[in-house]
Each structure stands twice: as structure tokens, then as C-alpha cells.
Structure 1
Amino acid sequence: MECYLDNSATTRAFDDVADAVRRAMLVDYGNPSSLHKKGVEAERLVKEARRNIADSLKVDDREIIFTSGGTESNNLALIGTALAMQRRGKHIITSGIEHASVYNPLLFLEEMGFEVTFLPVDGHGLVDPEALAAAVRRDTILVSVMMVNNEMGAVEPVSELSRAAKAKNPGVIFHADAIQAYGKYRIRPRREGIDLLTVSGHKIHGPKGSGFIYIRNGVRVHPLILGGGQQKDMRSGTENVPGCYGLGIAAKEIYTGFDGRIDRMYALRNRLIEGLADLPGVTVNGYPDRRNAPHIVSAGFDGVRAEVLLHALEDRGICVSSGSACSSNHPGISGTLKAIGVRGELLDSTIRFSFGEFNTADEVDYTLEQLRELLPMLRQFRRH
């Protein structure tokens, strides 16, 4: 049996998404800036995609800007906002468990003279709103906190964090990295006090190389890509019509029958966690219930290195991760696991299982069966 349990890294596209991408490449392949029929057809696909995404968030179509994915969206949100607001202040606040596409742009901004405060998290990976409020200053211009942690599925209290920050300084811009949250939660940026929201298409069964950023009307963001002035001068360059259209189809489908989809995913997560609890020497990180995201299980395995277990499972047809796929070129101990207080011997023994729309209970049972066989053998091998 083949079991793909690494959906936080990427997902298989929905069939309708693949069909939409093919259509945009072979039929409606015009440049959306062209005035002839082919251009108008392509522009219509981009507008439809933007409308689907805006509908999912209950925002204005004009507040959605297409990008090449989550990394570009996060860079635009952070660097673009910092450049636009630097005359008001140069202080930025974030958490200590952000994705590299947030963390590294902030390090870049530090080199440019901005000051970044990294807030600690508790043992479940959560930022304390009171700690955030205490850190906000008169010169604070931006707060950036992810909605769902990509490694262990912590769900941040974004609404509370935004309220706390804005109560202290109403001029603060609040950015939420929703790359692991979009499609798993109903997100309402206006109601939740989110000024900037970033999403990646390939995490929701859409195309790779697609993504978007929500920029609330009135928020100033300096563009990072300059050129022909597409997308209201915010992101120049000919729109990736296949990517945009496929992303729009994925956005619509991921929120169709939403409650049933999430219940089914939580059922798979619970099934895996209950099975792991029966295995000796296994520790699940984060909350085991619905306080955690529905699609992520982070578990430490005493006496087994994560890389060894990952490849042993791979040999049995099971794909999992030892952390964020985006950090695979920079191996090392996870900062997230350190931040939540995972004990030292498990820092290099933690595996992430993550579910998507195509996973089944049989796959969970098969994975548990293989773990029951593999763990004693791998532990014995390590002792010798």
C-alpha cells in the first residue's frame, strides 16, 4: 500500500484543478492584458479565480493579489509593509516558531535597520496575547503570527492577538500566515482583525507556484516586483493564468462540504493519535483534540532518529516528514520543537504526519501496523 502522509509539505491536485490548469494552457491561453478575444478569455479566468478566493474569505475581490506562492506572499507582506511604513517606526513583532519564509525576511529587515521582537510560545506552541500587548510600542508597525504552525499544528489565537496589539497601538498592521490554516478553517479577516493574510495554492490541492495575499483596503504595502503595473501595480508581470485559475478552483472546492471534510480529517487524526498512544516510547506534541489543527500530528519516537524512521517508513510505501519541507536544505534541530520544550532526546526523533483530502482510515491503520513492526527493530539496531 502507498500512503502519502506529507500533505503539509504539498498536496496532490484535485482532478478539477488539473483540468482547469490544462484548459488555461491549451484553450484560454491568452495574455490577460491583451485586448483581443484570447486575452479577454484569460482575464475572465483570473477574475473568476479572484472572486472564488474573495468569496471564501468574505472580502472584496480587489483585496486579493496573486503571487507565486506562500514564500513570495510572506515576503511581500513583511518587506513590503516595512518599506511602506518605515517613517512611522521600525519595530516588528513575531513569534519564535514562524516558518522560514517569515523568519528569514525578518532577519533581512533586521539587517536593514529594523528591530524585530521574537515572542516565546508555551508548551503547546501558543503565543500569549498579554505578552504580545506588553511588547507593542509606539514605533511598532507590524505584527506577524502564523495561524497554524506547520510542524506541530498549533492554532494561534489570532483574533485575540490582533485585538491585544491594536488596543495598545491602533496603527499596528497585523499579518497572519495562513498557509497551513486556509482550507482547514473558515477565515474572516475583517472580523478577526487581520490586515494581511498569505496563502499557498499547493497546500490546498491547487497548483504549485500559485498563491495569494489579502491586503485590506487602506493598508499600504510597497511592491517588490516592478514592471508593467499588473494587479494594481502591486505585483507586476503577466499573471500566471493556469496557476491563478487552478488556485481559484481549489479554493472553491476546499470549502465545499467544509464541515464534513474537517470532521473526516479529525477522525483520521484521532485514529492515528489513539494508535500511537498504544505504542511504547511515543510522545505526541501539541493538543490531541480539536484545539490543534485537523491535519497535523507531530510525534516523537524514543530511541529512533527521525531520518532513519522516515526512510524505514518510505521503504514500506509511507511518505512522512521530519519537519518543514521548506527547511530540508538547511538540516538541523527544529526551532519549533525547542520552543515548545520537547526534551532533548526527542528533538532528533520527531516525525510529522499530515493529512489531505485523499487519505483514508485504511492508510492510518497500515501506518500504525508498520510502526509496530519497525520500532522494536530500529531501537534494537540503534543500541548496537
Structure 2
Amino acid sequence: MSAYLDNSATTKPEEAVAKKVYQMLTEHFGNPSSFHKEGLDANAEVRRAREIIAKSLSCENEELFFTSGGTEANNLAIFGSAMANKRKGNRIVTTAIEHESVLESVAELEKQGFEVIRLEPNSDGNISEEQIFEAVNSDTILVSMMYVNNEVGSVLPVKSIRKAVKKAKAPALVHIDCVQAYGKYEIKPAKLGADLVTITAHKVHGPKGTGALYIKKGTRIVPRTYGGEQEHKIRPGTEASPLIAGFGEAVSLFPDLKEQTKAIHELNSYARAELEKIGGVKINNSTESSDYILNVYIPSFMTSQTIVQHLSSQYGVYVSNGSACAKGKKSHVLTAMKLGDKVIEKSIRISFSRMNTKADVDELTSAIRETVEKYPI
């Protein structure tokens, strides 16, 4: 038996997705920019994927630009916005709990002279609407914020960003990182008031190595790479047509959102109840956070990284100790929440997908219970 519960890091691709990628590699392997039959066949698959994904976002096909994933899309959005609008202002507003691809991008821009405002969360990992309104001023050229936090699942008030921008009469573009929200919440850039939206395939049972950036029609950003006509020169280079086709296939398999939401809520509630039966275990995120993520303090003498390895090797239970991109570094999210070193050093992240069941939760809780009993603090 095993239980994969690290879906915020990556999800298992659907079988149909793997078949689509293989089909592209073996049957439609032409360069999608070529004008012969092989190229046109590959191009048709890319266009099909773009149509499927654009429809899921209720946007136009031409507003969707494929990238290598969420990290590249975030970099493109942030640097592209800053360079395009640097004559209009100097302030960038974000939060202290963003993904590393956002935090490191704005840190680099700060070195270049931009003013960066990082909103601090409360102890539940939440950012308030008031904080956004206070931070955005007439000099703000970009507000970049995630919809759902990847470590504690806090749902940020992203719909308030556009209101704050309008009130301050700022020239700011609104970028929303929807990597952890896409496929789980209704994501319609127009309703969110977003100019830029980041999504990626491998969080929604698609292949790794491809993602997309929504860019609202009429929005100008400066490209990060040069050398081709692909993606309207916003992201030039030969399209990864097998991965893009797989991305489209994954999105085409999205289940009814209401049914999925209900099932995940029930699974989350069950997991919370079972975990709270284990002495000393503490759940760090509130019930207001995304049902797809639980952040849990484990009362063991082991550190979180060791706990993750122990659960994997001894029980076949797969969780994480934070963002996979951080590669074991101390969680900047839990640090920003001021939870204390003891909690930060012994907390793990449990993340669900529609493929998980109560049996997975039972495997998890049994493994944690035995670990706590065998290796107490």
C-alpha cells in the first residue's frame, strides 16, 4: 500500500495524457512551425490544446501564451510588466508568502531600483483586503499575488486587487499566480480583474515542462527571450508540442468542479478529524484555507525533512515539508506567519488531488501515529 499526498508539488498524469504525449512524440513529431503535413499536424494539436485551455479560462485563444511552466510564466509576467511600465512608476506590491519564482523575481527588480512592498500574513497565512488598499498607490506599476498559497492553502483576496488599483488611480498591471488554484477554483481572468494569470500543467494531472501565461488583450509586456515568431514573439522558440497537447488533454478531462470541490472538502474534513486524534499533532492552517492543502505540525524528535523521508521509506506515504522548489530550505511561508522555529522545523504539507481517497488518509494517519509513538520529542 502507498499514499501519494504531495499533489501541490506535482500530480500524477492521467493515462490519457501520457498516451497523448506519446502519440505526439511518435506520430505528430513535426515542428509545429513547419508547413509540411507533419508540421501542420503538430500545429493542429497545439491549436486544439490552446482552444481547450482558453475555454477553461473563458478567454480568447490569442490571450494564452505557452511557457515551460509556472516559474517561467511568473518571471515573464513580473519582469515583462516592470520593464514595460517603468516610466509610469516604481512600486511593485506582492506578499511575503509568494512562490520562490515571484519572490526572487521581485528581489532582483528591487536590486535594480524598484520599490517592492511585501505584505505580511497573519498567523493563519492570510492577507487582508485592507493591506492591499494601503499598499497600492499612484506609483504602483504591478501587483503580483497568488490565488492560493502553495504551503498552507490560504486563499488570498485577489479579487480586491483591481479595486485597489482603481481607487489609487495607479497604472498597475494585475498578475495572479493561479498555479495552485487552476482546476480547483473557477478561474476567469476577467472576473478576477487580472491582466496576467499564471497556470501550469503538472498541477492538474498534465505533463511537467509546460504552462501558460494569460495576457489580457491590449496588455503590453516586454519579452524575456528573443529569436522567433512563436507565441507572437512573447515566448519565442519551438513549442513543446507533445507537452502542450498533453496539457490540453489534461484540461479536457477536468471533472465537474462542484462535485470535485465537495469530494475534496469531505476528504479534508476527514483528514483533519483523524489527524487531531493523534496526540500533539497540530494543524497550522485554518478551515478557511483551501481544502486541497493541510499543513501539520508533527511532535517527533525528527525534523520535517526527516519525517518526510521516514514516511516515504517506511510506509510508502508521500508528503512534503514545503514547496518542492525550495528543496528543503526553511519555509519562508511559516516563517512569515511567525509560527516559531519548533513548529516550522517539524511541520509537513499534505496535499490532495481528485485521485485521493479516504484510504490514503488512513494510510497517512496510521503512519504518523506510529511515527509519533516511536519517535516522540
Normalised by the size of structure 2, how large is the TM-score? 0.97
Residue in structure 1 matched with residue 39 of structure 2 by the alignment: 39
CA separation in 1, counterparts of 2:298 and 2:209?
34
> Letter of the aligned partner of 1:373 in structure 2?
E
Aligned residues: 375
Residue in structure 1 matched with residue 260 of structure 2 by the alignment: 261
Q: CA deviation at 1:21?
A: 0.6
Where does 1:336-375 land on structure 2 (aligned, <5 Å)?
Answer: 336-375=333-372
SS at match of 2:375: helix
Q: CA deviation at 1:312?
A: 2.0
Residue in structure 1 matched with residue 307 of structure 2 by the alignment: 309
CA separation in 1, counterparts of 2:216 and 2:239?
21
Residue in structure 2 matched with residue 326 of structure 1 by the alignment: 325
CA separation in 1, counterparts of 2:332 and 2:245?
36
Show CA shifts across 1:79-126 (max 9, x none).
011111111112100001011010001111112221111111122212
8 Å Cα contact 2:132/2:160 also seen in 1: no
Residue in structure 2 matched with residue 270 of structure 1 by the alignment: 269
Please say which of residues 355-364 and 241-250 is displaced more in the overlay: 355-364
CA separation in 1, counterparts of 2:250 and 2:167?
36
Residue in structure 2 matched with residue 299 of structure 1 by the alignment: 296
- Alpha carbon RMSD of aligned pairs, Å? 1.3
Q: CA deviation at 1:140?
A: 0.7
CA separation in 2, counterparts of 1:128 and 1:258?
26
SS at match of 1:202: coil
CA separation in 1, counterparts of 2:242 and 2:256?
25
> Letter of the aligned partner of 2:310 in structure 1?
A
CA separation in 1, counterparts of 2:166 and 2:18?
42
Q: CA deviation at 1:302?
A: 2.8
8 Å Cα contact 1:24/1:241 also seen in 2: yes
Normalised by the size of structure 1, how large is the TM-score? 0.95
> Letter of the aligned partner of 1:349 in structure 2?
K
SS at match of 2:43: helix
Structure 1 alignment gaps of length 5 or more: none
Q: CA deviation at 1:156?
A: 0.7
Large movers: runs of 4+ above 6 Å = none
Please say which of residues 162-171 and 94-103 is displaced more in the overlay: 162-171
CA separation in 2, counterparts of 1:71 and 1:52?
22
8 Å Cα contact 1:207/1:243 also seen in 2: yes
8 Å Cα contact 1:166/1:172 also seen in 2: no
SS at match of 1:249: helix
Q: CA deviation at 1:49?
A: 0.6
Q: CA deviation at 1:341?
A: 2.7
Q: CA deviation at 1:170?
A: 4.5
Structure 2 alignment gaps of length 5 or more: none
> Letter of the aligned partner of 2:198 in structure 1?
T
